[in-house]
Amino acid sequence: MNILIIGSGGREHALAWKMAQSKKTDRLFIAPGNAGTATVGTNIPVKVNDFKGLKNTVLENGVDLVLVGPEVPLVEGIRDFFLGDAKLKRVPLIGPAGNAAMLEGSKDFAKMFMQKYDIPTADFRTFIDYSIHEGLQYLEQLTPPFVLKADGLAAGKGVLILDNLEDARKELTNMLKGKFGNASKKVIVEEFLRGIELSVFALTDGKGYVILPEAKDYKRIGEKDTGLNTGGMGAVSPVPFADKIFMKKVEERIVAPTVRGLQKEKLDYNGFIFFGLMNCNGDPYVVEYNVRMGDPEAEVVIPRIKTDLVDLLTATAEKKLDTMSIETDERTVSTLMLVSGGYPGPYEKGKEIFNTQKVKGSLIFHAGTRMENGKLLTDGGRVLALSSFGKNMKEALAKSYRNAEIIHFDKKYYRRDIGFDLE
Is residue 138 close enough to count as binding ligand AMP by CB under 6 A?
no
- 80, 151, 297, 299: residue in contact with ligand GLY (rule CB under 6 A): 297
Is residue 295 close enough to count as binding ligand GLY by CB under 6 A?
yes
- 138, 192, 354, 413: residue in contact with ligand AMP (rule CB under 6 A): 192
Stretch that binds ligand GLY, among 130-138, 246-254, 292-300, 352-360 (CB under 6 A): 292-300
For ligand GLY, the closer of residues 214 and 295 by Cβ is 295
Site map 122..161 versus ligand GLY, x via CB under 6 A: ----------------------------------------
Is residue 294 close enough to count as binding ligand GLY by CB under 6 A?
yes
Footprint (CB under 6 A) of ligand AMP, residues 246-285: 276
Neighbour order of strands in the sheet with 42-43: 42-43, 28-32, 3-7, 65-68, 93-94
At closest approach, how far in Å is the CB of 422 from ligand GLY?
A: 16
Is beta strand 186-190 parallel, antiparallel or unpaired with respect to 159-162? unpaired
Is residue 205 close enough to count as binding ligand GLY by CB under 6 A?
no
- Cα–Cα distance measured from residue 31 to residue 38, given in angstroms and rounded to the nearest whole number: 10
Q: Which residues contact 281 (CB under 8 A, 6 or more apart)?
A: 195
Nearest to 415 by CA among 335, 313, 354, 350: 335
Cα angle, residue 99 at apex, residues 153 and 179 outer, rounded to 5°: 20
- 197, 297, 299, 379: residue in contact with ligand AMP (rule CB under 6 A): 197
Is residue 214 close enough to count as binding ligand AMP by CB under 6 A?
no
- Cα–Cα distance measured from residue 185 to residue 168, given in angstroms and rounded to the nearest whole number: 16
Q: Which residues of 26-44 are buried (b: 16+ CB within 10 A; e: fewer)?
A: eebbbbbbbbbbbbbbebb
Q: Which does 419 bind (CB under 5 to 8 A by kind): ligand GLY, ligand AMP, none?
A: none
Nearest to 186 by CA among 156, 148, 157: 148
Is residue 287 close enough to count as binding ligand AMP by CB under 6 A?
yes
Is beta strand 65-68 parallel, antiparallel or unpaired with respect to 93-94? parallel
Is residue 92 close enough to count as binding ligand GLY by CB under 6 A?
no
Beta strands in 194-270 (DSSP E): 196-204, 209-211, 216-217, 220-222, 226-229, 234-237
SS3 (DSSP) at 134: helix
Q: How many residues bind ligand AMP (CB under 6 A)?
A: 11
For ligand GLY, the closer of residues 63 and 235 by Cβ is 235
- Cα–Cα distance measured from residue 295 to residue 47, given in angstroms and rounded to the nearest whole number: 19
SS3 (DSSP) at 79: helix
At closest approach, how far in Å is the CB of 337 from ligand AMP?
A: 16
- 279, 290, 335, 387: residue in contact with ligand GLY (rule CB under 6 A): 290
Is residue 217 close enough to count as binding ligand GLY by CB under 6 A?
yes
At closest approach, how far in Å is the CB of 197 from ligand AMP?
A: 6
Nearest to 10 by CA among 375, 412, 349, 387: 387
Point out which residues bind ligand AMP (CB under 6 A). Answer: 122, 147, 149, 159, 190, 192-193, 197, 276, 287-288
Point out which residues bind ligand GLY (CB under 6 A). Answer: 217, 232, 290, 294-295, 297
